[in-house]
Amino acid sequence: MDSTPVAWSNADAYLADLLIGHDPHLEAALSAQRDAGLPEIEVAAVGGKLLNLLARISGARRVLEIGTLGGYSTIWLARAVGPDGRVITVEAEADNAAVARASIDAAGVGDRVDIRIGRGADVLPSLVGGFDLVFIDADKESNTVYLDWAAKLGHPGTVIVLDNIGREGEIVREDSTDSKVVGTRDALRMLSEDARFDATALQTVGAKGWDGFALAVVV
Ligand code: DHB
Ligand code: MG
- Report d(CA 217, CA 149) in Å as an integer: 14
- Chain segment 203-216, per-residue pLDDT in tens: 999 999 999 999 99
- Cα(65) to ligand 1 centroid in Å equals 15
**Residue 2 pLDDT:** 87
| Domains of the chain, earliest start first | 5-218 (3.40.50.150)
**Given ligand 1 and candidates 40, 41, 89, 178, which is best to mutate, with the most ligand atoms within 8 Å of its CB?**
41
- Cα(3) to ligand 2 centroid in Å equals 22
Which residue has its alpha carbon closest to ligand 1 atom 4?
137
**Residue 184 pLDDT:** 98
Ligand 1 contacts (CB < 6 A) are 41, 137, 163-164
- Chain segment 133-184, per-residue pLDDT in tens: 999 999 999 999 999 999 999 999 999 999 999 999 999 999 999 999 999 9
pTM of the model: 0.98
What does the buried/exposed string (b/e) look like for 119-146 if buried means 16 or more CB atoms within 10 Å of the residue's CB? ebeebbeebeeebbbbbbbbbbebbbbb
- Chain segment 25-69, per-residue pLDDT in tens: 999 999 999 999 999 999 999 999 999 999 999 999 999 999 999
